[in-house]
Chain A
Amino acid sequence: MARVRPSDTQPLLPLDRIIVRDAPSDESIEVDVLFVGGGPAGLAGAIELAHLVEADAKAAGGLGEISIAVLEKSAALGEHSLSGSVVNPIAFRRLFPDLKDEDFPFRQPVKHEAVYLLTKNRSFRLPTPPTMRNHGNYTASLCEMVRWLGKKAEELGVDVFAGFPAEKLLVSGERVIGVRTAPSGLDRDGRQSSSYTPGTDVVARVTALAEGSRGTLAEAYIQWQEIKSENPQIYALGVKEIWETKKPLDTVIHTLGWPLPGDAFGGSFMYPLEPNVVGLGLVVGLDYRKTNLDTHGLLQEMKRHPLFRPYLEGGEMVEWGAKTIPEGGFYSLPDRRFGHGVVILGDSAGFVNVPSLKGIHYAMQSGIFAARTIFDALKKGETSAPYLASYDELVRDSFITDDIFRTRNMRLAFKSGFVLGGFKSVMMTLTGGRLFGKRIPIETDADVWKQARSPKALQPDGELTFSKVDAVFKSGNATRDTIPSHLITEGDVDREVAEMYASMCPAGVYELVDGKLRVNAPNCVDCKATDVLGPRWMPREGGSGPSYKRM
């Protein structure tokens, strides 16, 4: 039986393209602090910093005016943001101590919750694991939360620039001095069309990389600086749909088991946003063992299960999206998340707690901590690494590290399979992580061998189940179809590898045509799954990709 190791055909991250030592152009824009990425981490950081600067001005602290900018690659804030999501409100409360939970852009408090183990036709209710208890949390749409945070940031004088992906990290010596945004108006062959606009250099005293999962600049910075972690980072891919349903749902549902094969780690969720609007999705670790695993296809299959079908039948799928999640946890955090003129926040740093399925409040809190550190550094007039080191200390002494440390081996235990992994994770829960507490070493997802299997054909009915093409349409993807490909592939790859890409990519970007890999780059919804296992994702023209509304 043929086997595939994805790393054998994975191009290297082109550091020379991403990290540039050019002097900033004469047309550059100068700001004091730049947040790269308008998600929960970047916006919370910008808001906290604006609060601190405002308070300093009131107290005649002498810092003076500080310009804060946020760059976001999607056409409008929130359009590339996707999460479950059941959100822990703690970071919102800390960011806005004067507001009440009702003022926040949440949808509903979690009233009921249930965890099921699924077989093909049946479901067995399980006791809710302590890590997954959501009492006091809220269902919410990350798009809506991000738009709300963006408005707050702008009210505080933060310059939010949506539609401007940061493409290159500008450095001088070991110091990060800013970013260059991606140009727009290139044709398919990379030539300048009549609407060509070059990228803009944005120079900052501190650049906060908050690009989300698998952030390109953050990855490049970590590789360039050779920052180590005890374990490599590993990822899962989540595919999610929003449905307007006929039958109301009042329970936050999680499932394990079917339709995932026993050698894949993951599970599903279905959350009510409104009584008749649900978000449901399936998340699968990218260390799965057979090349034909297709998360989108499995989600389609899953909707036919008697647990889901009654809610969805007669309803309408109104949105579709996909995103990777960093799942490595505590041991995969980079040894340092700061450097000369730079800090790394949120998902880009890996602040996700997989057993509780949470990342948003960690992302926001990391932004808040970064803002405090940056504020102190600005006060001292010095933003080199020693002045930004306290960011790591604030994170280390907070609930972020407490939570992620307690569950440090739970995801990793599932490397030994579903049953044994399940047993170990129960024991870890019971002992607060002390039993089986020693680090379980893991390899990167791309180094995990996969058995070659032919792709499974999906037979969508267009009502309950959908093809990848229809799905991409529902993501609101209106990428100009004449942009140059932003995906770097390793030339002609073997059939098995091409089939693996085609199965893995939820958006139908990769196809096998006449035995060769074809790349439909405009389909890409920036989930970054193949960036983990195969072709590299690079920033492209602003406003490309999906336009999520309620994800």
Chain B
Amino acid sequence: MKIAVCLKRVPDTETRIKIGADGRSIDEDGVKFILNPYDEYAVEQALQLKDSAGTGEVTAISLGSSASQETIRTALAMGVDRGILLETDALPLDPVPIGKALAAELGSGDYDLIFFGKVAIDDYSHAVGTIVSELLGIPSVSAVGRLEIADGKGTAEREIEGGVEVVEFSLPAVLTAEKGLNEPRYPALRGIMMAKKKPLEIKPVELEEGGLSVVELSVPPARPAGRIVGEGADAVPALVEALRTEAKVI
């Protein structure tokens, strides 16, 4: 089985984000970047499928600046076989040109399965995986929480409001990974060492501009400080009152 996993380099969830001088981008100075956490589930799933099949190849593909090589290396260290960086200086906000660039690469790869994370935690568009499937004319299942592949067919479970949806699909297909799909492995020391010797191809790409632009970025307003209403059982009426009239949650 040939499997592709698409990866994105994103700021660490623990990082303190600062808005840049232009007001429309983040100040990357001192920001630590990581492999998008949802993409980790995608990588793990691809590796598990390959392991259980006993044969196959997993390719990690990322679109981004040269620094995204580091992100691909993380996946290689986890066990992915090879990497492709579609190199571009800046990513547009619009997911369509991003989807087009990825589809152009993926279309020529003859992949049975193409994995994405359900969402990139930086721009939260949720869109690229689905756009790619549309451009390639193959089925897609988003936010997959459980997956089985057998006899050229797949069954995926998606968590929906109040229940679970079970979807059957034919291969090839695009799948986007939900949190909890599996437990991503940590790269082992030996894996990191071997990752340095695995092939990583760099292909420059030109992206269309797209139809969206960032007008302004702003940080959410600071949360007001908490208040201690009182202590012990005597404070309960005051707490209930505050929850009802101030917080309006009960």
Contact = CB atoms under 8 A, between A and B. Distances in A.
A478 B14 contact: yes
B73 to A, nearest CB: 11
B248 interface: no
Contact of A185 (B186, B189, B196): B186
Q: Is the interface of B mostly helix, strand, loop or mixed?
A: loop
B186 A161 contact: no
A195 B185 contact: yes
Contact of B189 (A29, A195, A318, A550): A29
A29 B193 contact: yes
A295 B95 CA distance: 51
Contacts of B190: 27, 29, 200
A481 to B, nearest CB: 15
Contacts of A164: 189
B139 to A, nearest CB: 30
A202 B185 contact: no
A197 B183 contact: no
Interface in B19-61: 30, 32
Contacts of B32: 76, 547, 549
Contacts of B188: 197, 200
A310 to B, nearest CB: 23
B189 A194 contact: no
A185 B190 CA distance: 17
A323 B193 CA distance: 31
Interface string A497-508: 000000000000
Interface in B51-102: none
Given A194-B183, A197-B185, A200-B188, A159 B30 contact: no
Nearest to A476: B14
A181 interface: yes
Contacts of B225: 462
A181 B193 CA distance: 14
Interface in B199-250: 225
Nearest to A199: B189
A184 interface: yes
Contact of B193 (A159, A163, A542, A550): A159
A161 B14 contact: no
Contacts of A549: 30, 32
Chain A CB within 10 Å — which of B30, B185, B189, B193 has the most? B189
A197 B183 CA distance: 13
B125 to A, nearest CB: 26
A200 B189 contact: yes
A159 B186 contact: no
A161 B185 contact: no
Interface string B100-134: 00000000000000000000000000000000000
Contacts of A194: 183
Contacts of B196: 159
Interface string A189-228: 0000011010010100000000000000000000000000
Interface string A518-544: 000000000000000000000000100
A47 B189 CA distance: 21
Interface string A155-193: 000010101100000000000000001001100000000
B192 interface: yes
A475 to B, nearest CB: 11
Nearest to B196: A159
B94 to A, nearest CB: 31
Interface in A240-274: none
B212 to A, nearest CB: 31
Contacts of A195: 183, 185-186
22 contacts: A27-B190, A29-B189, A29-B190, A29-B193, A76-B32, A161-B192, A164-B189, A185-B186, A194-B183, A195-B186, A197-B185, A197-B186, A197-B188, A200-B188, A200-B189, A200-B190, A318-B16, A476-B14, A478-B14, A542-B186, A547-B14, A549-B30
Interface of B: 14, 16, 30, 32, 183, 185-186, 188-190, 192-193, 196, 225
Q: Which 3 A-B pairs have the closest CB atoms?
A: A200-B189, A195-B183, A197-B186
Given A159-B196, A184-B186, 8 more contacts: A76-B32, A194-B183, A197-B186, A200-B188, A202-B189, A542-B186, A547-B32, A550-B30
